[in-house]
Amino acid sequence: MKPSRILVILSSLTLLISLTACSTDGGAPSDGPKGEGNQITGGNLSNQYVEVSAEAGLAPTISSPSGTPPATLVTEDVIIGSGKVASSDSTLTVHYTLMAWSTGEIVESSWSGQPAQFPLSGVILGWQQGIPGMAVGGRRLLVIPPDLGYGEAGGGPIGPNETLIFVVDLIDVA
């Protein structure tokens, strides 16, 4: 084989290897802290559902949800805590904000008063499944489908079959 032909083959091979190593998204990561298709930008967590502010110690802002609500529990860390870790039998002290998916409006928030305290085993399944493993100092987004929330009956200000959006700041674990 002629040296020029070998050079053409090597050049083509180098180009092919370079192209297969390229991404089509500018090198942006496809996964965020705990989920698919999210990113933290400018102090916020953005995913396919909502955007949540990531300023520790301040009440979160939550954008109105978009698209079809998820059929399964979504949990994503907005701020990763570094303190004691919650388990299924923990008693929690938290600040939380609850938004109804259907209206995009805040239904309730502990940020207007004192933090809430309760045993994790005594709340809806979405919290029981979505909070364990969270560390004190963290902020977590929970998008809870109706079957893990208040279901067909609803409850209080929550309508029947409502998808719930909670942003939870974990203050203490006992």
Q: How far apart are CA 68 and CA 75, in angstroms?
A: 16
| Percent of the residues in the chain that have a pLDDT greater than 90, as a whole number | 71
pTM over 0.85: no
The neighbour count for residue 106, using CB atoms within 10 Å, is 16
Q: Where are the domains of the chain?
A: 30-173
- Which tens digits make up the pLDDT trace of 35-49? 333 444 446 666 789
User: Given this model, what pLDDT does residue 45 score?
Assistant: 66
Q: How far apart are CA 77 and CA 162, in angstroms?
A: 22
- Which tens digits make up the pLDDT trace of 141-163? 999 999 999 999 999 899 999 99
| Closest C-alpha to 118, from 59, 68, 170 | 170
Class of domain 30-173: alpha beta
Whether the per-residue pLDDT at 110 is higher than 50: the answer is yes
Residue with tokens 């032909």: 5
